[in-house]
């Protein structure tokens, strides 16, 4: 039984694309679970992370000189994946760089006993109402910086510990 990711890779390869999986998988020790009593093995948590939070595949077509960023999903999650891409600042910048964004949604056609794909392309028109989204990488980096370290009004300081001003000796 093939997964939607495998089906999309095969479909794009048949169309002449060079395809790479850009979804990473990470493992972390599960702190909520106790280690095995006999062998002390710590259970792990497995997390999948998409490129820029919304892309699973990158496809390059050498003859068409075309680059696709693809989000792959099963039938009932199509709208969720569209929303996820439209919420991404990076997705807008990818489109501005000249790439295309495609959502592959796979459904099983029970009458034909075959998998069918629904392809929907996201364009810059989808971001028309997103006027606050960055138009350059520099603007994106500034947004990310402010998420970590907010700008304070001039002359203000952060509250410090009373012990910081005292001499240690």
What pLDDT, on the 0 to 100 scale, is given for residue 24? 80
Give per-residue pLDDT as tens, 101-146: 999 999 988 888 899 999 999 999 999 888 889 999 999 999 888 8
What pLDDT, on the 0 to 100 scale, is given for residue 7? 94
103 domain residue, yes or no: yes
Segments of the chain scoring below 50 in pLDDT:
none
Q: Which two tokens stand for residue 146?
A: 């402010």
What pLDDT, on the 0 to 100 scale, is given for residue 148? 81
Domains of the chain: total: 1
Task: Show the domain range for 24.
Answer: 4-151
169 domain residue, yes or no: no
What pLDDT, on the 0 to 100 scale, is given for residue 62? 93
167 domain residue, yes or no: no
What pLDDT, on the 0 to 100 scale, is given for residue 89? 94
Alpha helices per DSSP H over the chain:
4-14, 78-86, 89-96, 137-148
Radius of gyration over every alpha carbon of the chain, rounded to an integer in angstroms: 23
63 domain residue, yes or no: yes
39 domain residue, yes or no: yes
Cβ within 8 Å of residue 8, ≥6 positions away: 56, 57, 70, 72, 104, 106, 117
What pLDDT, on the 0 to 100 scale, is given for residue 71? 95
What pLDDT, on the 0 to 100 scale, is given for residue 147? 83
159 domain residue, yes or no: no
Tokens 């969720």 locate to 80
pTM of the model: 0.77
Give the Cα separation of 25 and 77 in Å (integer): 20
- 85 φ/ψ sector (left φ>0, alpha ψ -120 to 50, else beta): alpha
What pLDDT, on the 0 to 100 scale, is given for residue 164? 56
What pLDDT, on the 0 to 100 scale, is given for residue 163? 59
166 domain residue, yes or no: no
157 domain residue, yes or no: no
Q: Outline where DSSP puts E strands in the chain.
A: 18-21, 24-29, 44-49, 57-61, 66-74, 100-109, 114-122
């Amino acid at each position: 039984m093939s997964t939607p990711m495998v089906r999309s890779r095969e479909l794009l390869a048949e169309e002449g694309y060079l395809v790479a999986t850009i979804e990473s998988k990470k493992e972390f020790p599960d702190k909520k679970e106790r280690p095995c009593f006999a062998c002390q093995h710590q259970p792990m948590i497995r997390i999948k992370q998409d490129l820029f939070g919304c892309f699973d595949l990158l496809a390059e077509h050498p003859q068409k000189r075309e680059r696709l960023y693809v989000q792959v999903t099963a039938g009932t999650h199509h709208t969720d994946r569209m929303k996820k891409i439209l919420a991404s600042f990076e997705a807008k910048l990818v489109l501005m760089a000249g790439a295309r964004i495609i959502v592959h949604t796979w459904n099983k056609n029970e009458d034909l006993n075959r998998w069918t794909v629904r392809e929907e392309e996201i364009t810059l028109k989808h971001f028309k109402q997103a006027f606050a989204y960055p138009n350059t990488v520099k603007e994106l980096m500034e947004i990310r910086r402010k998420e970590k370290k907010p700008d304070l009004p001039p002359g203000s300081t952060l509250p410090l510990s009373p012990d910081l001003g005292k001499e240690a000796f």
